[in-house]
A and B are shown apart, each in its own frame.
Chain A
Amino acid sequence: MKQANANFDFDDDAPLLEAEGLTVSYSTSEGELIAVDDVSFTVQEDEIFGLVGESGCGKSTVAQAVLGLLPTNGAVPSGSIRFRGIELTELEKRELDALRWENLALISQGAMNALNPVQRISTQIVEAIQAHRDVSTDEARERTAELFETVGLDPERMDDYPHQFSGGMKQRAYIAMSLALDPDLIIADEPTTALDVIVQDQILKRLKELRDELGISVIIISHDISVIAETCNRLGVMYSGKLMEYGNLKDIFENPYNPYTLGLQNAFPTLRGEQSDLISIPGSPPDIADLPEGCRFMERCPFATAECGGEHPPLESVGDDHASACYRHDIVDEMRREAGDRETWARLRSEVVATGGAGDE
């Protein structure tokens, strides 16, 4: 097999991954749609970074942009993504291929269909190795067996087909494949969706161990804020293509500044297992073909005022490693107090119904 090789001049002082003003657009029959709008974040070595938000908020698009997996109609019109100082958006395909999997690996969304159903799992892992290293198939198979052990799978079964594995086993096999070349960063896009809670727990634990034992950084993308809370050091909360809140996990969870983060926290069982009082945010994210004028979250925000209708708020630093995009940081205490109350969101629900949205305020 022809190996993908390229010599890169890595900048050792640069962060592992840095997105700056990243914007992703899709050209469709409805015109140019902006799926990710001016998003900036940094991922350091030995870090698990989380991106959280409802489906359609652009978090997976960020992952696709980093790995160069955007569909043919997708493009990055502005902004940059740098891996150890190398600008990824400007690489030729074969240069990017050299970085892919060797430095930047993927754990794909859903264990279901991310492995090729008509190839043996060993074949798929050996292929990943041989696409980058000039090693014999026997050596690559030995490495595959090792990897199976690493992720807690029986190496005897590496010649099985994906359909012979359970969902959890498939996800482990996929993780084994991601580890094949000791990458520096793994992007895990919904790594535990479609798995039951127990398996989900095991997988997340394994990802953390990998970081601790192998020093691999991970970006976890999830709609489930409890998954993020369980694994990450730092995170970004996305809504409708925008970063709403960004920074240290501890700060964000203990002192959230953004109403959207508050809403998300309500919508999932806390880690302490209090499942009884789940409050979901009424309504759904705006259509990206028809974005509102002001703050993207305004129509669903119980704390929105006239000020929110002008322009989407900029990210504002609210702590050492903590920023939030909201015009109402001044009443943050009040917001935190009321957000835990079902009434706050229920009030909004009736307003949404009555006025058909808050756009006419």
Chain B
Amino acid sequence: MSGETSSSVAHSEGEPSQGWRRFFENLRNSAREQAHIFAQSRMAVAGLVILIFYVVIALISPYIVPYGPYERIYTDAGGWAKLQPPSLAHPLGTTESAYDVLSQLLLGARIAMFVGLLGAFMVAIIGTTVGLVAGYYGGWVDEIVMRIVDVLYGLPFIPFVIVLVTVLGASVWNIILGISLLYWLSTARVVRSEVLTVRERPYVEAAEAAGASDFRIMAVHILPNVIPLAALYAAIAVGYSIVAQASIAFLGFGDPTIPSWGVMLQRAFVTQSFGTAWWWVFPPGLSITMVVTGAYLVGRGYEEVVNPQLQEK
């Protein structure tokens, strides 16, 4: 390394404001570059369209649903309109308890998207931080963190969340807690190995030589390089989180007062109506599949562009 380069870096490191400007510049350039890459993948764009569609549904559903989620539908004769097949008034029929399936379905998108996005956000934040710290400091810090990761891999996710909701109560927050506690492991692992390669790059070494603080090096120089990877894992975590929430609800640990796709399927299952009422069973299951596919397409389409190995040469 020539003296000239390191002294110029030392200069820029000398003024904190410039360092942060550099951070945001890095971040912006990286974001622009990633967005450009992203747009090249038809898969990723298709996935994004699906996700946005469901986010919009989640946002507007309270204003467009024809019935309340637990609003009883009555027949002309005054009885409960139980298990009605699709009709004009009820395009997706009714449930065993005479609720409107379409209304529940639309409102169910709210909790799904909430858990999916918040879960993914937590996974990205925790996984990136842990991976960054472990990879950057190395040594015993890394050793301890990676052993903790190994041990946590021994906790099966669904059973662990069951324990959490049994002990702490059945709420969406406890499901998100479970996601935050266990889903970051893979993200941390890949971020860590990426950090290991990034920190060998000349500009990181130059910053180190110039006496920049650890925090600054991690935030300004390393973080922008691992954000694409974290974003990829976060995208996939959206799907996993939604499935996790639906699964827990299906097992009977969901909050029954909030309409969700998992609770809908649980009701259809425990009442054994799923043998006849296909209109009640198919829509929530297909919705979950669609959202998860969307999240997965975003992740994979993006990955295929970023990782040339996977591209068809």
A28 to B313, CA, bound (A): 6
A28: chain B residues within 8 A (beta carbon): 313
Interface residues of A in 71-116 (CB under 8 A from B): 71-73
A71: chain B residues within 8 A (beta carbon): 313
Distance (whole angstroms) from the CB of A192 to the closest CB of chain B: 28
B313: chain A residues within 8 A (beta carbon): 28, 71-73
Distance (whole angstroms) from the CB of B39 to the closest CB of chain A: 15
- Annotate B107-137 by CB proximity to A: 1 below 8 A, 0 otherwise: 0000000000000000000000000000000
Distance (whole angstroms) from the CB of A66 to the closest CB of chain B: 21
A29: chain B residues within 8 A (beta carbon): 311
Chain B residue nearest to A28 (CB atoms) is: B313
B311: chain A residues within 8 A (beta carbon): 29
User: Would you call the interface of chain B mostly helix, strand, loop, or mixed?
Assistant: loop
Distance (whole angstroms) from the CB of B36 to the closest CB of chain A: 15
A73 to B311, CA, bound (A): 12
A73: chain B residues within 8 A (beta carbon): 313
A29 to B305, CA, bound (A): 12
A71 to B311, CA, bound (A): 14
Chain A residue nearest to B312 (CB atoms) is: A73
A141 to B93, CA, bound (A): 73
A29 to B311, CA, bound (A): 10
A72: chain B residues within 8 A (beta carbon): 313
- Annotate A311-334 by CB proximity to B: 1 below 8 A, 0 otherwise: 000000000000000000000000
Interface residues of A in 58-79 (CB under 8 A from B): 71-73
A72 to B313, CA, bound (A): 9
- Annotate B299-311 by CB proximity to A: 1 below 8 A, 0 otherwise: 0000000000001
Interface residues of B in 278-313 (CB under 8 A from A): 311, 313
- Residue of A29, A72, A73 most packed against chain B (CB within 10 A): A29
- Annotate A8-40 by CB proximity to B: 1 below 8 A, 0 otherwise: 000000000000000000001100000000000
Chain A residue nearest to B311 (CB atoms) is: A29
Distance (whole angstroms) from the CB of B231 to the closest CB of chain A: 23
A29 to B304, CA, bound (A): 14
Chain A residue nearest to B313 (CB atoms) is: A73
A28 to B311, CA, bound (A): 10
Chain A residue nearest to B308 (CB atoms) is: A29
A72 to B312, CA, bound (A): 10
Chain B residue nearest to A72 (CB atoms) is: B313
A249 to B311, CA, bound (A): 42
A29 to B313, CA, bound (A): 7
A153 to B308, CA, bound (A): 40
Distance (whole angstroms) from the CB of A28 to the closest CB of chain B: 6
Distance (whole angstroms) from the CB of A27 to the closest CB of chain B: 9
A71 to B313, CA, bound (A): 9
A250 to B236, CA, bound (A): 63
Distance (whole angstroms) from the CB of A129 to the closest CB of chain B: 33
Chain B residue nearest to A27 (CB atoms) is: B313
Chain A residue nearest to B40 (CB atoms) is: A29
Chain B residue nearest to A26 (CB atoms) is: B313
A240 to B311, CA, bound (A): 25
A29 to B312, CA, bound (A): 9
Distance (whole angstroms) from the CB of B68 to the closest CB of chain A: 53
A24 to B138, CA, bound (A): 47
A71 to B312, CA, bound (A): 11
Chain B residue nearest to A73 (CB atoms) is: B313
Distance (whole angstroms) from the CB of A113 to the closest CB of chain B: 16
Distance (whole angstroms) from the CB of A98 to the closest CB of chain B: 29
Distance (whole angstroms) from the CB of A207 to the closest CB of chain B: 33
A51 to B181, CA, bound (A): 59
A323 to B313, CA, bound (A): 36
Distance (whole angstroms) from the CB of A56 to the closest CB of chain B: 16
Distance (whole angstroms) from the CB of B307 to the closest CB of chain A: 15
A225 to B37, CA, bound (A): 41
Distance (whole angstroms) from the CB of B309 to the closest CB of chain A: 13
A86 to B313, CA, bound (A): 31
A72 to B311, CA, bound (A): 13
Distance (whole angstroms) from the CB of B308 to the closest CB of chain A: 10
A340 to B311, CA, bound (A): 45
Distance (whole angstroms) from the CB of B116 to the closest CB of chain A: 33
Question: Which 5 A-B residue pairs are closest in the complex by CB-CB distance?
Answer: A73-B313, A28-B313, A71-B313, A29-B311, A72-B313
Query: What are 5 A-B residue pairs whose CB atoms fall within 8 Å in the complex?
Result: A28-B313, A29-B311, A71-B313, A72-B313, A73-B313
